[in-house]
Each structure stands twice: as structure tokens, then as C-alpha cells.
């Protein structure tokens, strides 16, 4: 009746997951209770859960990503502290089976459920605003994408209470991940959680390729698009090209595990190395799916806070597309030790080194953007400068690893761990914090507190280097990754130094939380009335903060690069805004619960498949299909925003802009 599921699935004998589970259940129950008590459900349901507004969906992606980032960070703290104490005679406080689940969960959560949602959240929030349009190409599908990602995150966290998580690393390498060697449900949790969220990501990719290529405001030709739109397009193209590979590979592994097929088994003609090739044919483009939008965020920030157009805009576009293509040809560098022979390894070694050229072009462009500009040292700019320093070093250790003979020496060592954290933390995470500070006023109408922001940057920056420099050294000394216990007594000081770094990072994270709280408390003081708090250059700053749900009362007409900068300069020179246009009704897509229900059924189906409760899986799948049919049957797709409402919102915006113009004129007169 219930497949493999029984009461023994609840980890009553393991204190750490049990206590975490109880605390989490209390927090969730408390939140739900508060929402019920305060009668927030109608608001939450109408304004957020069923919302198809790209800005709301972007913010929900952000919240999901931040929560998962904290979960993944807790795993990281446990790993670093365990290694610092489990040296020589001591076994530390985590037994091997649990430790293996922690490093697997850390990687899975950080990539799939923290970094991806945050990156996609920024794409959602920013791209339609920058393109000067009112929504993405498929607003309801966008909501389905988000909720499927949330469904995957739910399944990963459910493994904490019911059953176990994979012990096979963030990519479940066979034959270890096959049924013979991993008979529990851990790998199945991984497979279905990633599979469900992966489908959501694929739909996001399709949505954003179509949005960027087919939905731009008049005059927004390709070479007038802001850099973030270009890099989002690049990431979306890579999602469309790479995520089906992930789906196919994980489906093959599921067939092996559940039905005893032999795609990747060690016997009967299965081929484990085919898994490595397939998974990294997805895995390497995935790295660029994360980092390309990050590059876009930095491009916007360098240009805005240097008060200059982006240096070498066209070379930046070319470098983005170059990285897009070459990223599909480097996957084998993850397993040079497979032994494909010198010719194959040489090809992938060279292609890996060549891809760094595209990134190098970008680094120089950012530096030259600052050169001769009036650089403002704001919080986003600090993260960006920290990124350049950190990422250049991470890139150089990457090029070192790209040389096959050198790679053989440090393969799967702590050096590798330090390298990829160097590029992913220094590249992606720094970008996410920079972007958070940069676009927060557009989302919520007030800026984040600058002092706490700067404090969090310095702690995170120093903490990062104190944590990972020792790991580079340990890797060169021969320490392999994923050790629950360390035998070499001489490595103790370095491992302890790394814990000091983790403490700094915890302080940095605390500063971020304090920054949020302080900013919310002081929101009236930090209010952005102009809609353009940073003297921005692209179209999102033409809207009020927070932007109205229809984004633009009148679709902008773009007449050159840096669309908003042109409008702004013209207004300042002529000392007045453009003529007030005639307002029309606007059609906007209606809200839909289809995303929420699809994800609910997907969660049930996924849970049933993990525990092999076949009737429930069938039922969940049938319900999901029925949900789509019901959705297809709806008659109302759009609602009208009356012209008076549009005019009211737009006149308020014009009034604030006129006040800004007068202020600039007054400053000009006194200067």
C-alpha cells in the first residue's frame, strides 16, 4: 500500500536531523498559524501565490533562494567544523553516513535551490523592465516554473524528516548511486527533486528566450539591449540546450535504479563513464547559466556607478555569445583522469583555456568602464570590486586545472573545492548580493542601509579568503575532498584557520540580516521617491519605485543605446518632461492558481515515486493532467486596466520626476 514507506523512515535515533526537523516544523506551523490568525490568506493567495506578475514571481524566487542559501550555509558550517575536529584519534560529531548526506545536500541545495532561484529571480524581476515591456512571453507558465522549483526544494527538505538524503555527492555518480550500492531512498529524493525543479528551469529558459527575442518595446533592437538582457538571453539559451540533457541522464539513472536497467551499472554492459559524460555535458553549461547573469549584474553596476556607458559594449555581447558556445565544448575537463588519451585531453584542455579569453575580455571591459569615470563607492560597487579581485584569482586557478598533467595531481582534492567556490562564491554569490542592493529599491520602494551593507561585504570578503586559502594549500598538500575524518595531524592548523573564516562569514550573514531589519525599520528615511535612486541608465529606472504591476503606462520608444539615459538627458537639457501622452486601457494577464496546483500534484507524484507508492504516483500525475485541461478550458485570459487608472499612476510618476528636474535645476543654479 505505501511502497517502501514505514514508520522507520523517521530518524528517531539521529538527534541532529530530528531536532532540526522539530524546529523547522514549529517554525512552519508558527508561520502558518500567524498567517491564519492575521487573516493574510486572501492577500497571500490573490497577490502572491496565484500571481503571474513577473516582478512578484521574481521576488518569490528570491525569497526561496535566500531561505535555501541559509540551509546550504548551515551544511557548510557543519562540514568545516567537523573537519577541524575529526583529526587523528577523534571522529568528530558527525558519523560518516550523516556527513556524506551533508556534503551531498550542501552542493545540491546551493546549486539547484539557492543559486538557480536567485539568478532566475533577478532575470524575472529585471528583464521585462529593462526591455520596456509589461510581462514575459508566457506569464502563467512563469508561475508554473516557480512553483515547480519550490516543489523540488520541498522534496529535498522533506528528506530531512522522512527517510534520508543521497550520500553520493551533488552529482550522483554511478555505480555508487545504483540500487546495488545505494539501496535507500536518498538518491531517489535527489533524482525526483532535481527532475521536478529541472522541468521548471527548462520552462523558464524557453520563456526568457522567447521574451528577449520576441517581446521588446519599440526601438529596442538587439544592440540597444542592456547587458543584463544579453547575458540573460545567453543563460536562457544554455538552459534550453543543457537542461534536457540533465532530464535525460537522471531519467536513465532512475530506470536503472527502479527497474534494474543497465545504462550506467558496472555489470551487464552498463557504462558508468557515459554518466560522467552526459551529466557534465549539462554540468559545465550550468556553471555559465549561473555566472552569465552574474556578469550582467556587474555590467549594469559598473556602468551606473562609474557614470559611464559600458566600455566595449559590442565586445561584451560577442564575449557572452562566445562563452555560450564554447561552454558546450569543455565538459571533459571534469574527468581528465578518465584516461581518454592525450589527444582528447589536449582538445578539452585547450578549449577550457580558450573560454577564459571571453571572460578576460569582460574583466578588462569592466576595468575600462571605471577608468575615467566618477566612481561612487556604494555597496553594490564594493561587491563588484571584490568580485573582480576574487574572480580573477579563481579564474587563474581554473586555467591551472585546465592543464591535464596539473589536473591529474590535484584532481578531486581540496584545491578543486577551493577553486570552484572561488568562482561561484566570488562570481555568482557576490553578484547576487550586489544585485540585491542595486534593485531592492525598485522592488520595495526603499534603499537598503548602507553601513550594514558595507559591513557585510567586508566580513564576507575577508571571510571568503580566510576560509578558502587554507583549502588551496591543503589541496596542494594532497588532501582529498569529502573527508569525514582526517588522518594527517599536520593539516590541523589550516583546517582550524578555515573555521575562523567560516566565523567571519557567519558575521557577514548576520550583518545582511541586520541590514534588512534596520532598512525595514528605517524605510521612511530610506524611501526612494524619484524611482531613480542610483542615477541609472536603463529602462527599469524610468518606472516609479516600486514599479506598478503594468510596469509602463505607455510603452517606451527607444531611440538609442542606454534607453533611459537618453530620455533623462533630454529632459534635463530642455528642463521639462516629454509631452503628456494620451492614455489607453491596458490588457494584463489574469492571475492563475495553475502553477500552485501543478506543483502540489508534482510534489505528491515525486514523493510517491521516491517511495514507490505507484497508485499515488498515478493519481498525482492524472490530477496534474486534469489541472492542465481545466486551465485550457478557461475563457478569461486578460483583464483591462482602465485608462483613468493608468493616467492616475502615470501622473504621480510624472510629478515626482518634475520635482527631480526642479531639484537638478536648483543645484545647477547654485553650482
Partner 1 sequence: MTDHPLPAAVETVRRVREDPHRLGHRAHGAEGPVQGAGHGETGPARKRIIVGYGFWIFLLSDIVMFACFFAAFAVQLGATAGGPGIKDLVEMPRVAWETAALLLSSYTCGLSFAATNARSKLWTQIFLLVTGLLGLLFVGLELLEFIGLAQRGITPQTSGFLSAFFGLVGLHGVHVTLAGMWLLTMMAQVQLKGFRPEIVHRLICFNLFWHALDIVWIGIFTIVYLMGATA
Which chain residues interact with partner 1 by CB under 8 A?
Answer: 133, 137-138, 202, 205-207, 209-210, 213-222, 224, 240-245, 247-249, 252, 255-256, 259-263, 265, 267-271, 274, 278, 555, 625, 629, 632-633, 637
145 catalytically annotated: yes
Q: What is the number of other CB atoms lying within 10 angstroms of the CB of residue 670?
A: 5
Q: Which residue is associated with the grid cell 490530477?
A: 623
Q: What is the number of other CB atoms lying within 10 angstroms of the CB of residue 328?
A: 16
Tell me how far, at minimum, the Cβ of 521 lies from partner 1, in Å.
41
Tell me how far, at minimum, the Cβ of 335 lies from partner 1, in Å.
15
Annotated active-site residue in 73, 80, 99, 103:
103
Q: Are 57 and 143 in contact (CB under 8 A)?
A: yes
Ordered DSSP codes for 411-464: TTBHHHHHHHHHHIIIIIIHHHHHHHHHHHHHHHSBPPPHHHHHHHHHHHHHHH
Q: Which is nearer to partner 1, 582 or 635 (CB)?
A: 635
Q: Which is nearer to partner 1, 201 or 397 (CB)?
A: 201
Q: What is the number of other CB atoms lying within 10 angstroms of the CB of residue 367?
A: 12
Q: Using CB atoms within 10 A of its CB, is residue 90 exposed (0-12), middle (13-18) or buried (19+)? A: exposed
Tell me how far, at minimum, the Cβ of 108 lies from partner 1, in Å.
21
Tell me how far, at minimum, the Cβ of 271 lies from partner 1, in Å.
6
The number of angstroms, rounded, from the C-alpha of 292 to the middle of its chain's C-alpha atoms is: 11
Tell me how far, at minimum, the Cβ of 278 lies from partner 1, in Å.
6
420 catalytically annotated: yes
578 catalytically annotated: no
Q: Which is nearer to partner 1, 153 or 242 (CB)?
A: 242
315 catalytically annotated: yes
Query: Does the CA dihedral 558-559-561-565 come out positive or negative?
Result: negative
Tell me how far, at minimum, the Cβ of 553 lies from partner 1, in Å.
15
**Pairing relationship of beta strands 638-641 and 586-589 according to DSSP bridges:** antiparallel
Annotated active-site residue in 51, 140, 211, 345:
211
103 catalytically annotated: yes
Supply the DSSP symbol for 550: T
135 catalytically annotated: yes
Tell me how far, at minimum, the Cβ of 142 lies from partner 1, in Å.
12
Annotated active-site residue in 173, 368, 420, 631:
420
The β-bridge partners of 87 are 486
Q: Comparing C-alpha atoms, which of 274, 310, 289, 208 is closest to residue 243?
A: 289
The number of angstroms, rounded, from the C-alpha of 636 to the middle of its chain's C-alpha atoms is: 33
The β-bridge partners of 413 are 480
75 catalytically annotated: yes
Q: Which is nearer to partner 1, 245 or 401 (CB)?
A: 245
Tell me phi and psi for residue 331, to 5 degrees: -60, -25
In degrees, rounded to 5, the angle at the alpha carbon of residue 633 between the alpha carbons of residues 632 and 635 is 110
d(CA 166, CA 171): 10
204 catalytically annotated: yes
Q: Are 400 and 346 in contact (CB under 8 A)?
A: no
Q: Which is nearer to partner 1, 262 or 481 (CB)?
A: 262
Q: Are 168 and 190 in contact (CB under 8 A)?
A: yes
650 catalytically annotated: no
Tell me how far, at minimum, the Cβ of 206 lies from partner 1, in Å.
5
Q: Are 164 and 186 in contact (CB under 8 A)?
A: yes
Q: Which is nearer to partner 1, 142 or 378 (CB)?
A: 142
Q: Which residue is associated with the grid cell 497508485?
A: 615
Q: Which is nearer to partner 1, 65 or 205 (CB)?
A: 205
288 catalytically annotated: yes
Annotated active-site residue in 55, 98, 257, 421:
421
61 catalytically annotated: yes
Annotated active-site residue in 145, 168, 231, 345:
145
Annotated active-site residue in 124, 236, 254, 519:
124
189 catalytically annotated: no
Query: Does the CA dihedral 435-441-447-452 come out positive or negative?
Result: negative
Annotated active-site residue in 180, 247, 271, 315:
315
421 catalytically annotated: yes
Annotated active-site residue in 284, 333, 447, 657:
284
Ordered DSSP codes for 179-216: TTT--SSHHHHHHHHHHHHHHHHHHHHHHHHHHHHH--
670 catalytically annotated: no
640 catalytically annotated: no
Supply the DSSP symbol for 168: S
Tell me how far, at minimum, the Cβ of 175 lies from partner 1, in Å.
12
Q: Are 171 and 199 in contact (CB under 8 A)?
A: no
336 catalytically annotated: no
262 catalytically annotated: no
Q: Which is nearer to partner 1, 87 or 238 (CB)?
A: 238
Annotated active-site residue in 207, 232, 299, 519:
299
Annotated active-site residue in 188, 286, 407, 562:
286
449 catalytically annotated: no
Q: Which is nearer to partner 1, 62 or 132 (CB)?
A: 132
Tell me how far, at minimum, the Cβ of 116 lies from partner 1, in Å.
17
Structure-block grid coordinates of residue 499: 573555521
Q: Which is nearer to partner 1, 579 or 635 (CB)?
A: 635
Q: Comparing C-alpha atoms, which of 195, 344, 352 is closest to residue 284?
A: 352
d(CA 542, CA 544): 7
- The residues annotated as belonging to the active site are 61, 71, 75, 79, 103, 124, 135, 142, 145, 149, 201, 204, 211, 284, 286, 288, 299, 315, 359, 362, 419-421
Amino acid at each position: 500500500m505505501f511502497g517502501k514507506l514505514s514508520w522507520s523512515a523517521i530518524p528517531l535515533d539521529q538527534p541532529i536531523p530530528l531536532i532540526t526537523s522539530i524546529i523547522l516544523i514549529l517554525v512552519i506551523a508558527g508561520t502558518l498559524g500567524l498567517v491564519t490568525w492575521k487573516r493574510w490568506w486572501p492577500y497571500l493567495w490573490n497577490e502572491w501565490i496565484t500571481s503571474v506578475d513577473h516582478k512578484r514571481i521574481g521576488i518569490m524566487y528570491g525569497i526561496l533562494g535566500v531561505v535555501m542559501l541559509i540551509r546550504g550555509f548551515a551544511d557548510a558550517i557543519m562540514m568545516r567544523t567537523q573537519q577541524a575536529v575529526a583529526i587523528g584519534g577523534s571522529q568528530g560529531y558527525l558519523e560518516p553516513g550523516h556527513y556524506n548526506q551533508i556534503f551531498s545536500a550542501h552542493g545540491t541545495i546551493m546549486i539547484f535551490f539557492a543559486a538557480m532561484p536567485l539568478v532566475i529571480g533577478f532575470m524575472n524581476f529585471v528583464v521585462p523592465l529593462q526591455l520596456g515591456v509589461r510581462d514575459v512571453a508566457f506569464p502563467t507558465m512563469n508561475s508554473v516554473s516557480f512553483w515547480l522549483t519550490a516543489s523540488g526544494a520541498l522534496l529535498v527538505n522533506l528528506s530531512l524528516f522522512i527517510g534520508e538524503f543521497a550520500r553520493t555527492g551533488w552529482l550522483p555518480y554511478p555505480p555508487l548511486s545504483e540500487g546495488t550500492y545505494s539501496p535507500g531512498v536518498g538518491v531517489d529524493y535527489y533524482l525526483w527533486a532535481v527532475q521536478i525543479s529541472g522541468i521548471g528551469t527548462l520552462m523558464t529558459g524557453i520563456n526568457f528566450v522567447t521574451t528577449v527575442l520576441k517581446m521588446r518595446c519599440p526601438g529596442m533592437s538587439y544592440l540597444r539591449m542592456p547587458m543584463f538582457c544579453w547575458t540573460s538571453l545567453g543563460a536562457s539559451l544554455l538552459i534550453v540546450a543543457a537542461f534536457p540533457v540533465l532530464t535525460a541522464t537522471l531519467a536513465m539513472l532512475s530506470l536503472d535504479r527502479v527497474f534494474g536497467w543497465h545504462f550506467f551499472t558496472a555489470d551487464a554492459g552498463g557504462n558508468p563513464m557515459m554518466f560522467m559524460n552526459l551529466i557534465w555535458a549539462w554540468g559545465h553549461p550550468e556553471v555559465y547559466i549561473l555566472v552569465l547573469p552574474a556578469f550582467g549584474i556587474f555590467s549594469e553596476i559598473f556602468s551606473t556607478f562609474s557614470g559611464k556607458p559600458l566600455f566595449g559594449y559590442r565586445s561584451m555581447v560577442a564575449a557572452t555569445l562566445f562563452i555560450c558556445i564554447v561552454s558546450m565544448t569543455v565538459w571533459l575537463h571534469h574527468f581528465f583522469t578518465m584516461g581518454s588519451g592525450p589527444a582528447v585531453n589536449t582538445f578539452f584542455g585547450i578549449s577550457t583555456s580558450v573560454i577564459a579569453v571571453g571572460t578576460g575580455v569582460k574583466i578588462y571591459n569592466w576595468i575600462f568602464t571605471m577608468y575615467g569615470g566618477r566612481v561612487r563607492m556604494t555597496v553594490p560597487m564594493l561587491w563588484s570590486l571584490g568580485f573582480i579581485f576574487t574572480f580573477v584569482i579563481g579564474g587563474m586557478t581554473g586555467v591551472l586545472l585546465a592543464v591535464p598533467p596539473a589536473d591529474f595531481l590535484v584532481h578531486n582534492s581540496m584545491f578543486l573545492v577551493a577553486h570552484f567556490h572561488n568562482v561561484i562564491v566570488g562570481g555568482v554569490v557576490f553578484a547576487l548580493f550586489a544585485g540585491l542592493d542595486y534593485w531592492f529599491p525598485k522592488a520595495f520602494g526603499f534603499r537598503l542601509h548602507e553601513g550594514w551593507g558595507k559591513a557585510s561585504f567586508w566580513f564576507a570578503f575577508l571571510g571568503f579568503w580566510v576560509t578558502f586559502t587554507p583549502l588551496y594549500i591543503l589541496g596542494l598538500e594532497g588532501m582529498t575532498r569529502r573527508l569525514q575524518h582526517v588522518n594527517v595531524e599536520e593539516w590541523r592548523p589550516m583546517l582550524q584557520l578555515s573555521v575562523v573564516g567560516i566565523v567571519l562569514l557567519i558575521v557577514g550573514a548576520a550583518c545582511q540580516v541586520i541590514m534588512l531589519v534596520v532598512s525595514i525599520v528605517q524605510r521612511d528615511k530610506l524611501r526612494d521617491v524619484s524611482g531613480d535612486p542610483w542615477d541609472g541608465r536603463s529602462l527599469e529606472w524610468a518606472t516609479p519605485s516600486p514599479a506598478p504591476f503594468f510596469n509602463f503606462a505607455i510603452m517606451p520608444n527607444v531611440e538609442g543605446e542606454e534607453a533611459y539615459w537618453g530620455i533623462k538627458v533630454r529632459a534635463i537639457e530642455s528642463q521639462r518632461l516629454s509631452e503628456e501622452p494620451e492614455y489607453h486601457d491596458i490588457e494584463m494577464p489574469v492571475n492563475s492558481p495553475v502553477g500552485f496546483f501543478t506543483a502540489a500534484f508534482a510534489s505528491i507524484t515525486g514523493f510517491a515515486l521516491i517511495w514507490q507508492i505507484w497508485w499515488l504516483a498515478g493519481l498525482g500525475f492524472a490530477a496534474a493532467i486534469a489541472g492542465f485541461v481545466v486551465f485550457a478550458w478557461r475563457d478569461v485570459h486578460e483583464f483591462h486596466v482602465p485608462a483613468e487608472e493608468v493616467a492616475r499612476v502615470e501622473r504621480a510618476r510624472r510629478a515626482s520626476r518634475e520635482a527631480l528636474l526642479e531639484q537638478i535645476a536648483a543645484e545647477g543654479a547654485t553650482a
